[in-house]
Each structure stands twice: as structure tokens, then as C-alpha cells.
Amino acid sequence: MTGKVIGRFAPTPSGRMHLGNAFAYLLAWLSVRSRGGEVLLRMEDLDTLRCTEENGERIREDLRWLGLDWDRETPPQRSRTAAYERALETLRSRANVFPCWCTRGSLNLVNAPHASDGHPIHPASCREASEEERARHKTPPAWRLEAPDLRISFADGVYGLYTENLKEACGDFVLRRADGVFVYQLAVVADDGEFGVTEVVRGCDLLSSTPRQIYLQRLLGYPQPEYFHVPMLTDREGRKLSKRDADLDLGVLRQRTDPEKIIGLLAHACGLLDRFEPLTAAELIPHFSWEKLRKTDILLDEEQLNWL
Ligand code: GLU
């Protein structure tokens, strides 16, 4: 790619940062800093019930403590409703965006949940409702985008080639919920597009969201960033480490250990260093390359966690 690399941290401030988030941010940061690019920070706080300013501030402090700096903070998603409304209008003019009054319960009755993320595939019936049927509803609808019968492929920098037919794998998807809240898929594309993000580094649990996001980028006329979906950290049983494992959140880790040990442990576990050695994020830059990164889930066993 020519031009300046622009990456981002896009935390959801619904709780404390976790070791798994720290791992994805470390790689996002190394990828940008090793090529002299720019890092943006954006609070993904669309979920106004769970996200707080206080959590956002803790995440900023935790990033600083880890030695992961950023060049610019772009507006939080909560403040971007007007931009998302504009994006929705553009989508309406270029594709089929239709009102939908289905509830999760009614969809589950119609269809088996989609294997990858547990979401039922939306039936076409609602898309084909007549104006009279629509007029009968007294409550506001959600707005969905018709999923095209189109195979979307992209070359992920870690995972390799990933392909999905949007109609078969995901079906018509929601852009704005009935309560007026815009969904993550639309917000992330509008934000990354508007702020010129050229590469997206995030956990591979978001791999299956990417074809939807690429389709939205195409409709909105934004260039496609490069994608790197990084492996999950797991325990010995193969369970993904998550917010459940409270002993691995940054609040606990900061009391117990140093940032250099965390960076050294993650760098060793993912293949960037061949032995464990405490070091700063900046000292890791010369050791970074995407080729070295392990491609499969990364097991953190008791012995490794004891290094902290
Ligand atoms: N806000 C999402 C999260 O914290 C990340 C979304 C993204 O990187 O696209 O999991």
C-alpha cells in the first residue's frame, strides 16, 4: 500500500480492558508504528446502557500504562448520530433499505440460528411486505439492508482468504434498531471511512462481520482497508479468555505486575520473540512482523501466566 498507514484502537468502554484486548491493541500499534503511521483512538460507545465515560478513561490510562500511545482521538460513536444518519440516507439511495418489525423471538421461530454468530437469518417476507401492511404498525421499525446474493472475498493478513455469500450466510441485516440506535456494522464503516483508516487489526471473533462491512464500504464509496484478524488467547481447555476471567483484566494485572512483563509474555506467546523477556512495546517494534505471528489460537498456560 502506498501513502500513510492509519490504524486504530476501537475499544468498547463497557468494562475494564482485558488481556485479550491488550493483545489486539499491541499488534495494531506495532503494525502502525513499525511503518511510521498514525494511530487513532475511538470509543465505540453505541451501547449507552453499558458504556461509560469512566470506563473510557480507564481504557485510556491502561493503554498509556502499556506504552501504547495514539496520535488522535476521533469522536466517540455516541456523538456521531448525524453522520450515521447521512450514511443511512446514502444507503437508501443505493440499495434496498426496508422497515422491519420482527423481534428476535419471532425470527428464531422462522429460522434456525446462523451457525457462526447465533443470529437467525432474516426471512424475505418482511422485505416484501406491502405499503398497507407496513402502515398497520404503530411502533417505529428497525431498518434492514437487503443482503445481495454476492460472494464477498478478502485476503486477511493473518487468516488468509475469507469468503462469504451475504445472502446465504447472514441475510438482510439491521442498520438501525427500532429504538433508533445505529448498529456497530454501520458505525464502524462510517467511522473508519470518514477518518481514513487504512488498516483494521482486531480479534478474529470479528472475521465474520467483515464481509458485511466490505459491502457497506462499497455502497458508501469508501476504500477497503487492509484487515488483520488476530488469534484469540485461550486457556488450556481451549476456552477463549474473556471478560469472565476477571483476574486477567488490567485493573488486576496493574496491581500485580509490570507492563514490560505483559508485553514480553504476549510477544513470546504469539511468536514475535522466541523466549520470554520483559520489554517495552517500543523495544518490541524491531521484532515485529506479521509473518512471524502465530495463526492459530494462542494458549496461555499456568506457567506463562505465572511469569506475570
Ligand atoms: N469495539 C469492538 C470491540 O471492542 C471492536 C470493533 C472493531 O475493531 O472493529 O470488540
pLDDT, position 116? 46
Q: Give pLDDT, residue 39.
A: 98
Between 3.40.190.10, 3.90.800.10, 1.10.4080.10, 1.10.10.10, what CATH number should domain 81-186 receive? 3.90.800.10
Complete DSSP assignment for 194-232 = HTT--EEEEEGGGGGGHHHHHHHHHHHTPPPPEEEEEPP
Any residues with Cβ below 6 Å from ligand 1, and which? 10-12, 44, 188, 202, 206
Mean pLDDT within 283-298: 96
Give start-end residues of each CATH 3.90.800.10 domain in the chain: 81-186
pLDDT at 169 over 90: yes
| Average pLDDT, integer, range 229-247 | 81
* Nearest CA residue ID for atom 6, ligand 1: 10
Cα separation, 188 vs 113, whole angstroms: 24
In the reported structure, the alpha carbon of residue 110 is separated from the centroid of ligand 1 by a whole-number distance in angstroms of: 30
pLDDT tens per residue across span 71-130: 999 999 999 999 999 999 999 999 999 999 987 666 655 544 444 455 678 777 789 899
The per-residue pLDDT for 122 is 79
Q: Is the entire prediction scored with pTM above 0.85?
A: yes
- Give me ligand 1 centre to Cα 132, in Å: 39
Mean pLDDT score of the chain, rounded to an integer?
92
Count of Cβ atoms closer than 10 Å to residue 159 Cβ: 17
> What is the widest separation between alpha-carbon atoms in the chain?
68
Query: Are the CB atoms for 218 and 97 separated by under 8 Å?
Result: no
What does the pLDDT average to over 222-240?
91
CB-based contacts of 308: which residues, under 8 Å, 6+ apart? 253, 256, 257, 261, 262, 265
CATH architecture assigned to 6-79+188-306: 3-Layer(aba) Sandwich (3.40)
CA of residue 219 relative to chain centroid, distance? 20
Kindly report, as residue ranges, where domains of CATH 3.40.50.620 are found in the chain: 6-79+188-306
Q: Which atom of ligand 1 is nearest to the CA of 209?
A: 9
CA of 42 to the centre of ligand 1 (A): 10
Residue 231 has pLDDT above 50, yes or no: yes
Atom number of ligand 1 nearest to Cα 192: 9
Provide CB contacts within 8 A for 17, sequence distance 6+. 11, 58, 59, 62, 63, 249, 250
Mean pLDDT value of segment 179-192:
97
CB 11 within 8 A of CB 40: no
Q: Which of 266, 263, 256, 242 is nearest to 12 (CA)?
A: 242
Atom nearest to 213 CA in ligand 1:
9
pLDDT (0 to 100) of residue 106: 62
Q: Which pLDDT belongs to residue 19? A: 94
